[in-house]
A and B are shown apart, each in its own frame.
Chain A
Amino acid sequence: MEKVTARVFRYDPSTDDTHRYETYEVPFEKGMRVLGVLMYIQENVDTSLAFRYSCRRKRCGSCGVLVNGKPRLACMEEAKAEMVIEPLPNLPIVRDLVVETNEYEERIESIRPYLVRKKQPQREPEKLLPGNFTAVRPLNQCIECFSCTSVCPVNGIQWEGFSGPATLIQLARRMLDPRDDMDRIPDAGKAGFEHCVSCYACVNACPVEIGILDEVIEKIRKKYIEKEASLYGKYNRTWGDLVVKNGLVNPFTLMRRVSTFDQLLSNILMGIKFFLKGRISLKGKKIPNMDEIRTIQKVIGEKR
């Protein structure tokens, strides 16, 4: 590869009516990253190209861009012969590849992303056992690049009340820290954790490979349903109850048991249509060997 052809998104909201793409040819150097391509363009071709960067080594999280439609850190992503470079989606554009993250940073601030300690340690230096921090350690790797935010479908439709995966990581960091004394459950509710659709888009996009669903959001869900009587908790428990009762989950029974009275009322017409199509089974199917499920459940209960 001798050269890189980069099609770069250009837009200045203060002067341009709409965005455009400009194509640049950049001499390729061995080991070249996307950031190197952008720096070459800015230094040699067009000084007005705007993009963010700082550490150049995957620590600061400021150089996130879309490379051929996928969120990537410009400092780490290898330059390819042909690339389309665009700003991260789901975030307002400041100029060219620079996006505004203030709103999401404020959301992180709102959940008080710091340790709150009511009791001081018994002695200094405080003794910390590594085993107590296994859940928190991977979350400390978050570099706040907002790649997760940029691909989250719920952030994409700007769903009111959902703070997004980046906020939930910071919340879980404190919630799971054994030194933290604050009740974080109200903040979890305010951050709208229940609006996560469990699609793993954030997990796929995270450059530092945080298990955002399994290690963050599901941990928040667990703590929340243990303490709060919420519709989400009812849904979650009902699912388990139906499995233990029938071995299978009949979606109609699940909906009927979880939905609020208003929801049921507004769904009556639809329910009739589903029923007429034979899509609703009033009596849920049961697996034949339920005794096995009950025995397994009993054994697990005894072990606890």
Chain B
Amino acid sequence: MKFAYYPGCSPQSTTRELDVVTRKIAKALEIELVNLNGPACCGSVEMRVNDPDLFYALNARTLAMAERQGLDLLTICDTCQLVLSQVNRSLQKDGELLDKINQTLSEVQVKYSGGVKVKHLLWILLTDVGPERIKRKIKFPLTGLKVAPFYGCHILRPKEALGFDDPDDPKSLEDFIRICGGEPVDFPGKMECCGFHNLPYDPMLAVTLTGKYLQEASKAGAHCMVTPCPLCFTMLDGYQKEANKKIGSQVNLPVFHLPQLLGLAMGMGKDELMLKRNMVSADEVLRKLGRV
């Protein structure tokens, strides 16, 4: 099994552990990740507003890189997944737009034909790899661990662009937690927005939203939280203290990247999973699992 790998910006800087651990679990599951030659930032929702022409061209360039390899694209960030899916869908549906973008890209000898699928790691684990194959690699099931699934918004909505989960009633992250042997904990905010995109200019709003979901998950009895998005992770883990301060709560909830939780169940240790980089200590979870 082989995919073109698109790590995105955050896992190449603030959440480097996500990139490293993704590569480790991919290797263990015999998923070959093919590095592309310098794909650019997806531009997020910001660049689409500011410079739509460049936004389309750069994302088409990334899709073309995967197409040249004859591979589908694997993402590890909700926003990258959404943006690349949206651009891909527009290019596949609108021949005129595709021609216009290809004309621009011809200057750098790049052409995209619309033949790539963009898939998040979570979806690949559940479908291409499949639960049985993952379960065979699970050495230490997360028995008794109550895990709050935090989807983040851009892996669910809008449905037309993504089309994996039902955005009103998603199941994938809960299924993933069960495969790891954990117990998913339901809470109202699991499909909401962490506020990351507003953080640089509207930080109080972002931490208020984050605080609300952390409090809900904690009240629901979660021992920890897992998210498939490094941006949500940054808010939920990195800004947990700020969120507590803003909404007057005292939540102490370890947060895991998707592959960190899987790696834990596969038997990888604290160092291998780079858990020391998480701002909220995961030691309590490790103790609960008898892993210290």
Residues of A within 8 A of B (CB): 69-70, 153-154, 157, 159, 194-195, 197-201, 203-204, 213, 218, 221-222, 225, 231-232, 234-237, 239-240, 242-244, 247-252, 254-255, 258-259, 263, 270, 273-274, 277-281, 284-285, 287-290, 292-293, 295-297, 299-300, 303-304
A236 touches B49 (CB 8 A): yes
Q: Is the interface of B mostly helix, strand, loop or mixed?
A: helix
Question: Of A153, A198, A240, which is within 8 A of B50 by CB?
Answer: A240
B201 touches A240 (CB 8 A): no
Residues of B within 8 A of A (CB): 9-10, 12-16, 37-41, 43-51, 53-54, 57-58, 61, 104-105, 107-108, 110, 153-154, 157-159, 167-168, 192-193, 195, 197-203, 205-206, 208-209, 212, 234, 238, 241-242, 276-277, 279
B158 touches A299 (CB 8 A): no
- Least CB distance from B57 to A in Å reads 5
Q: Is the interface of A mostly helix, strand, loop or mixed?
A: helix
A153 touches B192 (CB 8 A): yes
Contacts A243-B43, A274-B238 given: A200-B158 contact, CB under 8 Å? Answer: yes
Contacts A231-B201, A251-B234 given: A292-B50 contact, CB under 8 Å? Answer: no
A-B contact pairs, 25 of them (CB 8 A): A153-B193, A157-B209, A197-B195, A199-B154, A199-B193, A200-B153, A200-B158, A203-B158, A204-B167, A232-B201, A239-B50, A240-B46, A240-B47, A243-B58, A247-B38, A254-B200, A255-B199, A277-B277, A279-B277, A285-B12, A287-B38, A293-B58, A296-B108, A300-B53, A300-B54
Q: In the complex, A248→B8 CA distance in Å?
A: 8
Residues of B contacting A153 with CB < 8 Å?
Answer: 192-193, 209
Residues of B contacting A280 with CB < 8 Å?
Answer: 14
Residues of A contacting B195 with CB < 8 Å?
Answer: 197
Contacts A199-B153, A251-B9, A296-B105 given: A239-B46 contact, CB under 8 Å? Answer: yes
B49 touches A221 (CB 8 A): yes
Residues of A contacting B13 with CB < 8 Å?
Answer: 248, 250-252, 281, 284-285
Contacts A243-B47, A248-B40, A251-B234 given: A278-B277 contact, CB under 8 Å? Answer: yes
A277 touches B279 (CB 8 A): yes
Q: A199-B154, A277-B277, A284-B13 are in contact. List 9 more A-B contacts (CB 8 A).
A: A70-B168, A159-B205, A199-B157, A239-B44, A247-B41, A248-B13, A248-B41, A249-B9, A296-B108
